[in-house]
Amino acid sequence: MTPPADQSVAGAEQQAGRADLERVLIELRDQVEAFRFVLQAPGVEAAKAAQLEIRNQLDDYVLPRIRGDGAPLLVVLGGSTGAGKSTLVNSMVGARVSATGVLRPTTSSPILVCHPDHTGWFIGANILPGMGRVEGPAPDAIAGDQLVIISSDSLPAGLALLDSPDFDSVFEDHYEFAAKLMDAADLWLCVTTAARYADAQVWQMLQRAREHGASIGVVLSRVPQGAGSEITEHFADLLEEHGVGDARQFTIPETKIEDSRLPEEASEEIRSWLIGIAEDDEQRAEVIKTTLGGVLDSFRTRVPELAKQVEAQVEARTVLSTEVQAAYATALAELDEATRNGTLLRGEVLARWQDFAGTGDLVRALHVRRGRADRRANRRRRTPARVRSLKSALRSGLESVIIAAAEHAAEDVIGRWRANPAGEEMLAGKADALRHASAEMPRRVTRAVSAWQDYVLELIRTEGVTKRTVAKLVSFDDEALSLVLMVGLLGYGTSDVAVEEGTSAVPQRLLKALFGAESLRGMSAKARADLRSRAGMLFDEEAIRFGQALDAAGVPDENTAVQLYQATYNLEVAR
Amino acid sequence: MTMATSQVGRPATAHGAAPGLPSRLAALESLVELGRGRVDAELLDDTGVLLDRAGQRLMLSGDHSVVALAGGTGSGKSSLFNAVCGLELSPVAVRRPTTSAAHACVWGLEGAGPLLDWLNVDKRYRYARASALDRVATGPDGGLAGAGRGENSLQGLVLLDLPDHDSIQTDNREEADRFVAVADLLVWVLDPQKYADAALHRNYIVPYAQHAAVTLIVLNQVDVLRPEEIDDCVADLRRLLEAEGLHDPHIVTTSAVTGAGVDDFRQVLVDTVAARRVRSERLSADVDKLAARFTDYCAMGTVPAMVDERRAASLFGALTEAAGVPAVAEAMESAYELRAVDYMGWPISRAVARLRRDPLRKMRLTALRDELRGAFTGPIGAQQGDVDNALQGVTDGVAADLPEAWQRSVRRAAREHAEELPDALGQALKDSLPAFNQVPRWWWLVKTWQYFLVFLSLLGLGWTLLLVVYGVFDLGSEPTPLISDPGLLPYVALVVLCPLGIGYLTASMCRNVAALSAAKHGERVEQHMRDRIVVAARQMVLDPVAEELSAVALFRAEADTARGL
């Protein structure tokens, strides 16, 4: 009744809508494909599988379905090994197209049977584009992921049957195929047997089919004579219990198998139901639409779930990098402690200090002021050996404290990461390189410590304003005093502490007498802050190595999750 | 008599080459002890569980063999159970899953009670030959004699009918797992439809592949196959099992419906029970499987006994540096020289030096000078950082070939005392110092000599004064020409100047001698310090490492025993 003009307008609109939907779906596919799960986190294996499934389902089924209007109804027979899937296909086609037998599992390559008119469409790799095609009859040896396509007149034009491998035998690739084919089905026919219907695997697959939005039919085969009603009823109860009660149910009794086929009456019910759907355009379109709708609906939960896992990845990454930061913060605190509690004034540094202070070289660094000429002469004097020894002892002492702290931190990070499954995986093959401080570390530390010593010397020169009362009487050697300041700073803790009697306070008392408490405090604070910032920079550079290890792994970032949410939303809008 | 003994003894002696079950269990026990904190805790926990289980099972009846019928739902475990028992004890049905609690049937009740309690079989599902089966034996059945003989030869059998492991009833799987873990003989009941199920192969056959000796495969329901198909099916099953590592599987085909093969199965059970070996074989297989997990900890050549000489030497070197031995020695030399100058310096030049202007005095810090002098308090410890860095590479050489876990534990052993090491090194150094603080006797002599010279020149000075007063200026009376004859002046001046000159020369000579002996002393003390550091390093670093290494070697030896090597 509708005028043809309206129809064409509606058709154009539909066309545009479909193009839009296709674009959105391609976007979704690209986004799902664009990242990898690299960090070990709870549920990541499932997420990886889900990622692959979503992508495959988009490629294998959704996109071809949207593009190929009017293609036949694809019925996939999935089920347990030994349930008689191949036998059922043979019976419905009326010819031995798929091998049957007592050895389990029997069928290893999926076999697709369709009307000759559609062979071209299926061979054209529209649906399941990732799989190879072989035109039937099935050769003896087929490489794993080949789809055998057999044309048969006995099927109506609108129907294609796909005999899929089992999902519960020892061959894992069979399961993968079965799952992949299930996702590509317009109608998934689950075939199980009276002996198996309570197997956990059957129900897991039904659950999966339901979650992925498939239209489901259920066949219970090999039902022993006489036990029919008890089993069927129990099975129906179980179906109801698992939320697939509305699926169409069929029963096939255990019968004689002849020529790989069931007696006609056993499979007649299923055959006529399928043909009925296939031949009625409206009904067929309805089934296809329902399944497509179901699949698209399933993306509403499946994609956000994926996005959640991406967020978990981001979270795991944050945890790992926090561990690194914490470890190096500890290292910095360790260094602070070591330069405050006097542990640095041990061993060689102490010996050199004692040598320097005790032999009078320290006192010789102070000169009674006579005149300008005298002062200039002092400047030109060569640095005594003891000063140089003390300086290099201080430098190497400080260096080794910093390096030791860096080593501890690196090991600490390794330990912390090892305790975390995600980190454990990150470290694979890298642990040896990361366990120790980096190779450039010693050189950098040497440079940093020398720079700090120069800075302290500069402080003494520029800020060491001698107390006026003292300045009139005494001049001093900058370099020697800078060492005294360092010893005081590193060896005896802060110079703020109350001056105590005893040798421990010697540097402070001397410096205080020279510079006054105020000026000394300022210099000490500056010198300490400078050291801290230099060490902090060194540790940052060390920590970067771990950051690089994380970056190299290619952990998805927050944007990926956001994009996934956005793609889900876009899909809803486009529908 | 002797013949009999030797025959009985033979299996034991034949076994003598490989360690028996008790010694392997003992080895596992010591592995647990040695492994604490060194080996993966989960592995040790598993070992502990196995040891507990083995101990309990070995304490319980050895006359009984626990045989478990396990398999998927619908494979006919219960039918087979009933066929062997000769009674409908376990319910059989088409509704899946049927059995949800284990049933047990015991032949020969004596001693079986505690075993069944340990197996935790529900009392409602325990059957015994003494109750239900006796009635069969005494019943008016035509096959009384045959049945009776059968029962007798099954004496000592505990047959368990387990729930399935693959149905939607997850409780069933837990229940089945519990028994699979403890049964002496595992009988997997399969059927032509389900024999290739992933649920069975992945979860049971592969993990229990090493239990081939105590595993029996029963292909039930062969009545659904044609005779020629049975052979194909068995061959396929055998290929599958062997591919999964179950070597030479024992496969029996039965049909609980037609009764075919049930007698064969029963005969296998009779043999098993008669041999009374499955209990220890099962435990041996468990030990095999568990001990194999220790293999990773044994993948190494000979364990070195010690850190090699070169690395030890470099450790000593690094620790010597860390303790600042050369610097300490130098500082000590300086102190020695200073002290020598205190004793043997020319008193007059010191007095002159004191007159010079002193910046410290100007700063009113004169006290500081003495403190600075007292700065030679001796060495205190070593740099923690240096020590840590020194310990860093010590174990690299010895541990490089060891598995990761041992590398870690050896490294830990080397660092065990890292915190105490600086103080210990300091102490080691301090012990060598007293030699330095001694004052040699000749210093006193020189000191006395110096003061004598000073006294002499003072005397001469006084004399000169007197000569000047009395001789030159001719003041007062002349008591004696000794102090009044000006002609003596040049000689007296000599008396004044000579001691001065001699004193100065003595001082400079002594300074040189002191410097020489300081250097010599320094060398000696440095050597002493080095020796002490070597001792400390051995004690606190190398010995713990050696101990750890010997623990590793012992662990390996025990692991080898546990693995039955």
Question: Which pLDDT tens digit goes with each residue over A74-85?
Answer: 999 988 888 888
Both A250 and A383 in one domain: the answer is no
Q: Would you say residue A540 has pLDDT above 90?
A: yes
Flag whether residue A301 sits within 8 Å of chain B, measured between CB atoms: no
Complex prediction ipTM: 0.74
Both A139 and A227 in one domain: the answer is yes
Asked whether residue A104 is assigned to any structural domain, the reply reads: yes
Cβ within 8 Å, pair A199-B323: no
Nearest to A513 among B229, B324, B365 (CB): B365
Q: Would you say residue B188 has pLDDT above 90?
A: yes
What's the pLDDT tens digit per position in B244-274?
A: 988 889 999 999 888 888 889 988 998 888 8
Cβ within 8 Å, pair A198-B169: yes
Q: Would you say residue B196 has pLDDT above 90?
A: no
Strand partners, B197: A169
Any idea which of A335-339, A505-509, B200-204, B434-438 has the lowest mean pLDDT?
B434-438
Q: Would you say residue A392 has pLDDT above 60?
A: yes
Domain assignment of residue A194, given as a range: 71-279
Q: What is the pLDDT of residue B234?
A: 92
* Per-residue pLDDT band at B138 (split at 50, 70, 90): very low
Under CATH, which number does the domain B63-275 receive? 3.40.50.300
* Per-residue pLDDT band at A282 (split at 50, 70, 90): confident
Q: Which residue type, as a one-letter code, is found at position A414?
A: I
Read off the pLDDT of each residue in A229-258 and give the average, rounded to a whole number. Answer: 87
Which site among B372, B415, B419, B526 would you substitute to test the A interface, given the most A Cβ atoms closer than 10 Å to its Cβ?
A: B372
Cα separation, A103 vs A470, whole angstroms: 105
Domain stops at, among A279, A308, A325:
A279
What's the pLDDT tens digit per position in B213-244?
A: 899 999 998 888 888 889 989 999 999 999 99
> What residues of chain A, 477 to 536, have a C-beta less than 8 Å from chain B?
502-503, 506, 509-510, 513-514
Read off the pLDDT of each residue in A423-428 and give the average, rounded to a whole number. Answer: 80
Cα separation, A399 vs A448, whole angstroms: 9
> What residues of chain B, 425 to 464, have a C-beta less than 8 Å from chain A?
425-426
**Average pLDDT of the residues of chain A:** 83
Which site among A102, A335, A374 would you substitute to test the B interface, given the most B Cβ atoms closer than 10 Å to its Cβ?
A: A102
- Min Cα–Cα distance to chain B from A570, Å: 39
**CATH number of A116's domain:** 3.40.50.300
Both A267 and A409 in one domain: the answer is no
Asked whether residue A542 is assigned to any structural domain, the reply reads: yes
Q: Would you say A96 and A90 are in contact if contact means Cβ atoms under 8 Å apart?
A: yes
**Which residues in A465-497 are b (16+ Cβ under 10 Å) and which e?**
ebbeebeebbbbbbbbbbbbbbbbbbbbbebee
Both A75 and A212 in one domain: the answer is yes
Both A387 and A495 in one domain: the answer is yes
Q: Would you say residue A396 has pLDDT above 60?
A: yes
Q: Would you say residue A360 has pLDDT above 90?
A: no
Q: Would you say A151 and A114 are in contact if contact means Cβ atoms under 8 Å apart?
A: yes
Cα separation, B385 vs A413, whole angstroms: 19
Read off the pLDDT of each residue in A377-391 and give the average, rounded to a whole number. Answer: 68
Read off the pLDDT of each residue in B307-334 and give the average, rounded to a whole number. Answer: 85
Strand partners, A76: A162, A188
Asked whether residue A237 is assigned to any structural domain, the reply reads: yes
Both A248 and A108 in one domain: the answer is yes
Q: Would you say residue A503 has pLDDT above 50?
A: no
Question: Nearest chain B Cα to A345, which residue?
Answer: B383
Q: What is the 8-class DSSP label of residue A58?
A: I
> What residues of chain A, 325 to 344, have a C-beta less than 8 Å from chain B?
338, 343-344
The residues, ordered by sequence, that sit 6+ positions from A282 with a Cβ below 8 Å of its Cβ are none
What's the pLDDT tens digit per position in B473-497?
A: 766 666 677 777 777 778 888 888 8
- Can you give the residue ranges of every domain in chain B? 63-275, 309-562
What's the pLDDT tens digit per position in A191-215?
A: 998 888 888 889 999 999 988 888 8
Both A99 and A246 in one domain: the answer is yes
Both A215 and A87 in one domain: the answer is yes
Enumerate the residues of chain B whose CB falls inside 8 A of the CB of residue A170.
196-198, 201-202, 240, 244
Cα separation, A414 vs A410, whole angstroms: 6
pTM: 0.74
Nearest to B198 among A170, A194, A403 (CB): A170
Q: Would you say residue B529 has pLDDT above 90?
A: no
Interhelix angle A44-57/A4-33, nearest 10 degrees: 150
- Min Cα–Cα distance to chain A from B35, Å: 19
Q: Which residue has the higher pLDDT, A33 or A516?
A: A33
Residue B377: CB atoms within 10 Å: 13
Q: Would you say residue A12 has pLDDT above 80?
A: no
Q: What is the pLDDT of residue A549?
A: 85
Q: Would you say A230 and B95 are in contact if contact means Cβ atoms under 8 Å apart?
A: yes
Both A271 and A349 in one domain: the answer is no
Q: What is the pLDDT of residue B216?
A: 93
Q: Which residue type, as a one-letter code, is found at position A279?
A: E
The residues, ordered by sequence, that sit 6+ positions from B523 with a Cβ below 8 Å of its Cβ are B329
Flag whether residue A193 sits within 8 Å of chain B, measured between CB atoms: yes
Q: How many domains does chain A have?
A: 2
Both A269 and A369 in one domain: the answer is no
Q: What is the pLDDT of residue B156?
A: 87
Asked whether residue A140 is assigned to any structural domain, the reply reads: yes
